[in-house]
Structure 1
Amino acid sequence: MPANSKTQKWLDRVERWGNALPDPVFIFLGLIALLVAVSVAAAQLGWSAVHPVTGATLTASSLLSAENVRKLLTLMPETMADFPPLGLILVVMLGAAVAERSGLFTALMTRAMRGVSNRFLSPAIFLIGLLSHQAADAAYVVLIPLAAIIFAAAGRHPFAGIAIAYAGISGAFAANLLPGQFDVLMLGITKSAAALLGPAPMLNPLGNWYFTAALGLILIPITWLVNDRIVEPRLGVWTDPPPEGDMEDIADPASQRKGLRRAGIAALVIALAFAVLALWPGYSPLIDAGATGPARLEPFYSSLVAGFMLLFLVCGWIYGAAVGTVRSHRDVVKMMTEGLATMTPFLVIAFFAAHFIAMFAWSNLGPVMAINGADWLRAQQLATPVMLILLLLMSSVFDLVIGSASAKWSAMAPIVVPMLMLLGVSPEMTTAAYRMGDSIFNIVTPVASNFVLVLVLAQRWRADFGVGSLIALMLPFSIAIGLTGLCLVGLWTGLELPVGPGAPATYAMPLP
């Protein structure tokens, strides 16, 4: 793409605007300041609503009242500690850090791509990209350069390999064939938002699984078609050799095979152990014998957080011991420490996000706005699919300028989750629609955290590859994924399909 083209100039302008945005911490500070001002005005104006379940009249409360100021200053540690996603994501990361740093995630992605025929390279790499969502940033630094080399070795354009890998890792981030860390984080935020109307419904890390898995399976042939019929023909033929040093295994093939074999056995043992705890006659601590229906499985769903942590920790440890990356228990502790260190930015944002959500609850603005907003939406007589598609489009627009999905959801969830609950939409379905919208522009916005990393990886193959070049490369995927997600959200809610185990698309608390 010419450097002086109108498209390039517009993309440069978008990049400057994105870089001019404040840090998410200061975005939350701004939201808190706005929330305080709105709460004061709402209290003065007497904003209120009648709770559709209890019949109680809810009134807006000023955050500058003596009671709320006292809560802010005396409950600050509790507010931070009680932020639902905080404990969940830190527990899972303890194990994921070991699996990543021991080389297990890298080995799984590398081994999975060997022996794949030229014809099926695109769907195979996209599938590995979907599965690599558990590997966090390891997928970017391992799978993307690996895909470029595999495509070049097969006589195909390396940028087509970069494109399909990036699409699977980031563009299809709303698709998850295997639930993991991000599901825990997002549904934790959703649960705290749903609690603004009263006791939160049962939410679990599998709450979006049916939707995300279906989305992933549908996107495999769609992105295959886009890559092989639209993206790669535009790139032409590549004849240059690959740059040096783009692919280095951390272990020799024999050790890698031994480590993966032992890690696989460990994974089966852990899965069997959890099955025993849920199914063993007379001893089923993961089943609530006193409950009925899906509620019986609530202990099992809650245990999945510990399950993911143990799975990653044990399998990563065993793999590392086999290949030599883990020589003693001290290495494991060091990996866990380093993994939690990478969560420091999240911890800083979580402090302010926790206070925003808590202050939102203290002000009563959430339920008041939700009830009145739901009443207005109901008067418009919009179909449920239309409401969720509007949410999807709104989150996709925000994704162009704010990179953090959890930060955006922390700000939006206290409003949209209760509002749509009152209109009969389950919290899980609302979360799925938001996640779909949030992932559409991940691969074409320069403000995305890994956009620059992918750009640098591409520049190893062509030094003049620019921002506009990467956006032009990925835009067909972004359009295809967005249209697919929009249609799927409409179809899912129109047919009222369950979003996950024990998670219907509709919620049994509509307005009377």
Structure 2
Amino acid sequence: MSQQGTSVKRKENWADRFLNVVERVGNRLPHPVTLFFIFAAIVVIFSFLLSLLGVEAQHPGTGETIKVVNLLSKDGIRMILTKAVDNFTSFAPLGTVLVAMLGVGVAERSGLIAALLKKMVLGAPDKLITAVVVFAGVMSSMAADAGYVVLVPLGAIIFLAKGRHPLAGLAAAFAGVSGGFSSNLLVTMLDPLLGGFTTSAANLLDPNYAVLPTANWFFMFASTFLITAVGVFVTEKIIEPRLGEYKGTFKKELEPITKQESKALNFAFITVIVFVLIIAAMLIPENGLLRSDEGNILQGIPFTPFVSSMVLLIALFFFIPGIAFGIKSGSIKNDKDVAEFMSETMSSMGGYVVLAFAAAQFVSYFAWSNIGLILAIKGADFLRAINLTGIPLILMFILVCAFINIFIGSASAKWAIMAPVFVPMLMQLGYSPELAQLSYRIGDSITNIISPLMSYFAIIVAFGKKYDPKLGIGTLISTMLPYSIVFGIAWMIMLVIWLVLGIPIGPGAPTMIPPM
């Protein structure tokens, strides 16, 4: 990457030309909402054509012959017209995300998230600063996209203050925030969001299958430390040596945490401890309110009130300390401020609500037509025929997800399209929906940082231009590419080890199920 005041314009090579083509093609793709309506229309048309051709498959579980349902028939058109509202209101990820974001929004707008990230990074010893920046980036996913606008520019400023290249700090923070987006020590809003799509897809084969918000928690908990370690290695051994010494003129002093913010953080932390103790008191005793009637938390987890309450508990986990911080820091003066924060959060979710309406129609049409189920059965038969099963199949699926992610930035939009096909297909071969979701999350994360179509990519370029005015999309991608490659290799090795050892990827979440 070039440096301010010393760089010369680099001649385009084949990699730059390829990335330029990717950028141009991707920019011409319709908006995700338009894409879903297009896909819904395609499903309707293909349901008519495939029903005429008599396409069918045998259900592996019941032995029933599954035929394509023509959605352009009289009954099909009636369903499309009369079920549109029900499709939307019963769309599993909709309520999940909106409820969780009520709490997250209060924590973010009260200043808790920004102060917490700043406190975490500024208090780190010089030797651990890279690790803390990457780790804070990974953990920032608990507040949705706050890490992009708070931590990425902060990472550059911190490195500059420590006498290191600011673009290395920007890259380290971006790698943690975006490349490690799926990882976290906590269950975040992404978990129930993707779980809703996975459940809907699994129900094509098994109507009673439910994917929990904690489905990938064990693996993602461990991944937090893996991504942090790998991020430190790439930053210090590859990125910083390549960047060299910073010779630019841009300087900015760090703004330390104020005494009032520090007191507010302590107060918020106390409320978190109290909240966790209250939940533990309702979960640990045998007669606890949130414990399953069977008494065994893990064996009864699909039926526990604790799991059914997970989305609300996630919201409260952020809502309560967010209010505590706001009151102590002065950002919340009365209940009107809290209501305003929640309203602002819901206003910002307008785009997601529209996307959810379009996605709900597509998912419903796919299920009604039986195309997804038949495609999954035929696909599983094909994979058996070519003997592509086991670990090679899972790794290939990760790479497919990583490639698609370059062109479609939204994690939920991609999974809404892919889940109805790949989840039942992998279930047919004996792989759990939870493993399919986990594999998708790995593939989706590793190419986030090199996709010019990722919604925050242009913002990261703008941040970088403060330190190198000549920085562009190609130079940012070339800087982030080592993270993408090494993250992918490390994550896939870890998954292979996980699969070989047969470790559950979450509470009550196996990697294998009986083939269906």
Bin for the TM-score computed over the shorter chain: over 0.9
Moved more, 384-393 or 432-441: 384-393
Per the alignment, residue 271 of structure 2 pairs with 266
**Structure 1 CA distance, aligned partners of 2:447 and 2:297?**
42
Following superposition of structure 1 onto structure 2, how do residues 107-506 of structure 1 map, counting pairs within 5 Å? 107-240=115-248, 242-244=250-252, 253-289=258-294, 294-296=299-301, 298=303, 299-506=305-512
Question: Deviation at 1:194?
Answer: 0.7
Residue type of the partner of 1:450? Y
Q: Which sections of structure 1, spanning at least 5 residues, go unmatched?
A: none
Q: Could you tell me how far 1:164 is from its partner in structure 2?
A: 0.5
Distance in 2 of aligned mates of 1:66 and 1:291: 50
Following superposition, the deviation at residue 9 of structure 1 comes to 3.8
Shift in alpha-carbon separation, 1:85–1:288, aligned structure 2, 3 A: farther
CA drift of 1:432 comes to 0.5
Which string of whole-angstrom CA distances, capped at 9 and with x for unpartnered residues, describes residues 12-52 of structure 1? 33222221111111111221122112211221122222222
Q: Which moved more, 1:382-391 or 1:453-462?
A: 382-391
2:422 corresponds to which letter in structure 1?
Answer: V
Matching residue's letter, 1:474: M
CA contact (8 A) 1:125 1:165 kept: yes
**Alpha-carbon contact 1:385-1:491 (below 8 Å) kept:** no
Amino acid at match of 1:222: V
Q: TM-score, normalised by structure 1?
A: 0.95
- Is the 8 Å Cα contact of residues 370 and 418 (structure 1) preserved in structure 2? yes
Separation (CA, whole Å) in 1 of partners of 2:204 and 2:225:
35
Q: Cα RMSD (Å) of the superposition?
A: 1.8
Provide the residue aligned with 1:34 in structure 2: 42
User: Which segment drifts farther, 253-262 or 356-365?
Assistant: 253-262
Moved more, 331-340 or 213-222: 213-222
Whole-angstrom distance in 2 between the partners of 1:90 and 1:120:
36
Q: 1:256 to 1:332 in 2, by over 3 A?
A: same
Structure 1: how far apart are the matches of 2:297 and 2:227? 36
Give the drift of 1:243: 4.0
Asked if the contact 2:298–2:507 (Cα under 8 Å) also holds between the matched residues in 1, the reply is no
Aligned pair in 2 of structure 1 residues 289, 33: CA closer, same or farther (>3 Å)? Answer: same
Equivalent AA in structure 2 for residue 193 of structure 1 = A
CA distance in 2, matches of 1:506, 1:188: 20
User: For 1:94-118, what per-residue CA distance to the aligned partner results, in whole angstroms no more than 9, with x for missing partners?
Assistant: 0000000000000110001123222
Which sections of structure 2, spanning at least 5 residues, go unmatched? 2-8
Q: Deviations over 1:176-196 (max 9, x none)?
A: 222201111111110111111
Distance in 1, Cα, partners of 2:296 & 2:486 = 44
Closer, same or farther: CA 102–288 of 1 in aligned 2, 3 Å = same
Q: Note the alpha carbon deviations across 1:239-258, whole angstroms, 9 max, x for none.
A: 445445x8657xx6221121
Q: What do the CA deviations read for 1:440-459 (whole angstroms, capped 9, x no partner)?
A: 11111111101111110111
Instruction: Give the secondary structure class of the aligned counterpart of 1:448.
Output: coil
Q: Which moved more, 1:284-293 or 1:333-342?
A: 284-293
Alignment partners' CA distance in 2, 1:296 and 1:332: 33
Distance in structure 1 (CA, Å) of the matches to 2:292 and 2:271: 24
1:334 Cα deviation from its structure 2 partner:
0.5
Identity %: 40
The amino acid of 1:111's aligned partner reads K
1-structure distance, mates of 2:411, 2:123:
35
Which sits farther off after the overlay, 289-298 or 220-229?
Answer: 289-298
Q: Is the 8 A contact 2:139 2:183 kept in 1?
A: no
**Which segment is superposed worse, 41-50 or 281-290?**
281-290
Work out whether residues 209 and 501 of structure 1, in 8 Å CA contact, stay in contact via their aligned partners in 2. Answer: yes
The answer to whether the Cα contact below 8 Å between 2:101 and 2:345 also exists between their aligned partners in 1 is yes
Q: Secondary structure at the match of 1:197?
A: coil
1:416-457, CA deviations, whole angstroms, 9 ceiling, x for partnerless residues?
A: 101111111111100010111111111111111011111101
Q: Distance in 2 between matches of 1:64 and 1:456?
A: 48
**Count of aligned positions:** 507
Is residue 288–residue 296 contact of structure 1 (8 Å, CA) maintained in 2? no
How far apart, in 2, do the equivalents of 1:153 and 1:296 lie?
48
- Whole-angstrom distance in 2 between the partners of 1:488 and 1:326: 44
Aligned 8 A contact 1:386 1:490 in 2: no
